Amino acid sequence: MSADLRWPDGVAKRVLGEVDSTNAEAARIAASLTGPTWILGLRQTAARGRRGRAWANPEGNFAATLVMRPFETTDQVALRSFVAALALMDALILATGRPESVSLKWPNDVLLNGGKVAGILLESMGTQGNLTLAIGIGVNLIAAPPADSVEPGALPPVSLAGETGIEIGPEGFLDLLAPAYARREASFTTYGFAPIRTAWLDAAAHLGAPIRARTMTEEVHGTFDGLAEDGALILTTASGRRTLPAADVFF
């Protein structure tokens, strides 16, 4: 991994003292975009995660959205959740110098010492040919929600400061993340999903181990055996191989 920390060419940055949510702000400014833009909210008043869940985001934690106009088909655009996870991993390794402490959890969480330190929320607006993508990222830099605030069986939330003693502000973290994302984005747009998939699996938590995957209709138990070419979760179960495009995973 290169440690070039220059702000990426052609990418804008907006830092807001307060915002309801950086993904909501992305939707508001989408029509005026002239290129990819990072929106950093130093304080969010209505942060949210996957499936509309609330996301605790006290001041000092990281809340940002990268908004862009991708050119690929909708299914390919969605693979940027893996691009963003790798970029987050890269930024955390740069911040800590501890690559062994960072791992990735399908579909879109980043773990530090086995606890959830960051999450990713992708939202798209518009139609094919005129699509805007918002990649929302939240990182517990200084504080994590209490363990009893997450659903039973979910990984405990952790913070960067709590796990490592390292303190970095949101703007400082963005200066690590934006170049890291630009490098992974360049790989994705040049070579496709295959190298992203390989790199993600190299850092995947519990690969080859038993997990539970809960969809909207069932809970599937099996061995986590990899990612399909479209990013879906591959499980080997007692009744055979299953491929799940969407689920919540529990270890």
The string of DSSP codes covering 29-72 is HGGG-SS-EEEEESSBSS-B-GGG-B----BTBEEEEEEE---S
194: CB partners within 8 A, 6+ apart: 229
- For the chain, the farthest-separated pair of C-alpha atoms sits apart, in whole angstroms, at 52
What CA–CA distance (Å, rounded) separates 99 from 83?
Answer: 17
151: CB partners within 8 A, 6+ apart: none
What is residue 47's predicted lDDT score, i.e. its pLDDT? 67
What is residue 105's predicted lDDT score, i.e. its pLDDT? 97
What CA–CA distance (Å, rounded) separates 162 from 208?
Answer: 29
The fraction of the chain above a pLDDT of 90, given in percent, is 81
CATH of 210-250, one of 3.40.640.10, 2.30.30.100, 2.60.120.10, 3.30.420.40: 2.30.30.100
What is residue 125's predicted lDDT score, i.e. its pLDDT? 87
Higher-confidence residue of 31 and 208: namely 208
Decide if pLDDT at 46 tops 90.
no
Q: Give residue 52's pLDDT band: very low, low, confident or very high (50, 70, 90).
A: low
Decide if pLDDT at 29 tops 70.
yes
pLDDT digits (tens, 9 = 90+) for 182-197: 999 999 999 999 999 9
C-alpha to C-alpha distances, 19 to 8, 114, 124, nearest whole angstrom: 24, 30, 19
pLDDT digits (tens, 9 = 90+) for 120-139: 999 998 876 788 999 999 99
What is residue 45's predicted lDDT score, i.e. its pLDDT? 87
Decide if pLDDT at 4 tops 80.
no
**Exposed/middle/buried for residue 47 (C-beta within 10 Å: 0-12, 13-18, 19+):** buried
Least confident of 41-50, 188-197, 218-227: 41-50
Q: Delimit the domains of the chain by residue range.
A: 12-202, 210-250
What is residue 130's predicted lDDT score, i.e. its pLDDT? 81
CATH 3.30.930.10 fits 12-202, yes or no: yes
> For the whole model, what pTM was predicted?
0.93
How many residues are present in the chain? 251
What is residue 205's predicted lDDT score, i.e. its pLDDT? 97
Beta strands 130-139 and 109-112, pairing class: unpaired
What is residue 225's predicted lDDT score, i.e. its pLDDT? 97
Residue type, 165: G
What is residue 56's predicted lDDT score, i.e. its pLDDT? 61
